[in-house]
A and B are shown apart, each in its own frame.
Chain A
Amino acid sequence: MASRSKGLAGLLSVLVIVTGCLSFRVEKVTIGPEIPSAAAGLKEGRTTLAEILAQCGAPLAVDDLGGETLLIYEKKFYRGGQITLGIPMSDVTGTNINVNTYGRLWRYDTVGMVLDREMTLKRLFSVRGSATPLWRSFWDDSRPVPAAAPPPP
């Protein structure tokens, strides 16, 4: 009976310590609808604004590019994680031990459409950040190698 009580007390102590000291947080945020597929039948030089709106719906943003019009369709993806280790020691040492690490990654699926003055699609560009691997997107800090400068005339 005594050993059972000790086991129960031990289990509760471990639970209290673990829940009080260690925490792990996983977050996911999604903002916006799926972006239209770049291959959705939109043709540069041919597709009109009316066709774009009928096919893709209203864009997230509209802007003027000095005579041309920019339409932006975008979906945002966020992933976050956090590990916190805290040991309440203030009664003994006057301060608490707290170690915290986190990682946050925003990725974007974006389609941009530039329309000319006649509201015909002039340029279409897109990027699918969500298609890139989560882990590698977060850790890869490599930068593109700059192009070699042209030789002096």
Chain B
Amino acid sequence: MKNTQDSGRWRNAVGMLGLGALCLVLAGCAVFGRDKNFHPYDPAALTQIVPGKSTAEDVTRLFGPPTQVVKLTGGNAYVYSRSLSKGTGLWLVFVTLVNYDTQYDQVVFFLNPQNVVTHCGSALRSGDAAYGLPF
């Protein structure tokens, strides 16, 4: 008789725990988001820029207006920048986990006072932005 009662209590306790776990799961929610700072230039066009020959006009024809122009003593730098951010949020009852990753596509041209490209460099990393948890 006592064993039957203990077994019943045990089943009740397991049921309660299961119900509690279900509440925890159902009370949670998640969000995935993308935040894009877009400038329409094609990084592949970088191959058409030849330092020492290409001019500022070639650069703006291929890449459009720069995001930023920096006046240097020996010329100018044209900076093209765009970014991609990926956000992940997870709400679990009373715990909120948020992760936000931002990566850039960055292209820089250095031009001499005659507006001829002397150097150019790129770092195309926006594709590396990732969803994840904050651990």
Closest approach, in angstroms, between the C-beta of B92 and any C-beta of chain A? 10
Of the residues A19, A31, A60, A117, contact of B94 by C-beta under 8 Å: A19
Query: A3 — nearest CB in chain B belongs to which residue?
Result: B12
Asked whether, in the complex, the Cβ of B134 is within 8 Å of the Cβ of A26, the reply is yes
What bracket does the count of chain B residues touching chain A fall in? 35 or more
Of the residues A27, A31, A63, contact of B102 by C-beta under 8 Å: A31
Asked whether, in the complex, the Cβ of A28 is within 8 Å of the Cβ of B100, the reply is yes
Q: Could you tell me which residues of chain A, from 1 to 43, have a CB within 8 Å of some CB in chain B?
A: 4, 7-8, 11-12, 15, 18-19, 22-33
Query: B122 — nearest CB in chain A belongs to which residue?
Result: A58
Q: How many A-B residue pairs have CB under 8 A?
A: 116
Residue B121 at the chain A interface, CB threshold 8 Å: yes
Q: Could you tell me which residues of chain A, from 115 to 152, have a CB within 8 Å of some CB in chain B?
A: 117, 119
Of the residues B27, B104, B119, contact of A50 by C-beta under 8 Å: B119
Asked whether, in the complex, the Cβ of A58 is within 8 Å of the Cβ of B98, the reply is no
Of the residues A11, A59, A66, contact of B73 by C-beta under 8 Å: A66
Residue A103 at the chain B interface, CB threshold 8 Å: no
* A18 contact set on B, CB distance < 8 A: 93-94
What 0/1 readout, one digit per residue, does chain A (47-63) give for beta carbons within 8 Å of chain B? 00110111011111111
Total count of chain A residues near the partner, CB < 8 A: 41
Asked whether, in the complex, the Cβ of A28 is within 8 Å of the Cβ of B96, the reply is no
Asked whether, in the complex, the Cβ of B94 is within 8 Å of the Cβ of A28, the reply is no
* 30 cross-chain CB contacts under 8 A: A7-B16, A8-B19, A11-B16, A12-B23, A15-B23, A18-B93, A19-B93, A19-B94, A22-B94, A25-B96, A27-B98, A27-B100, A28-B98, A29-B99, A31-B102, A32-B103, A33-B103, A33-B104, A33-B125, A53-B119, A56-B121, A57-B122, A58-B108, A58-B123, A60-B104, A64-B73, A67-B73, A69-B72, A69-B73, A119-B110
Give the B-binding residues of A (Cβ under 8 A): 4, 7-8, 11-12, 15, 18-19, 22-33, 49-50, 52-54, 56-64, 66-69, 79, 117, 119
Complex A-B, nearest 6 residue pairs according to Cβ-Cβ distance, in ascending order:
A53-B121, A57-B123, A28-B134, A58-B106, A58-B108, A25-B96
Contacts A53-B121, A69-B72 aside, 10 further interface pairs with beta carbons under 8 A come to A7-B12, A31-B102, A49-B119, A53-B120, A54-B121, A58-B107, A58-B122, A61-B79, A63-B70, A64-B70
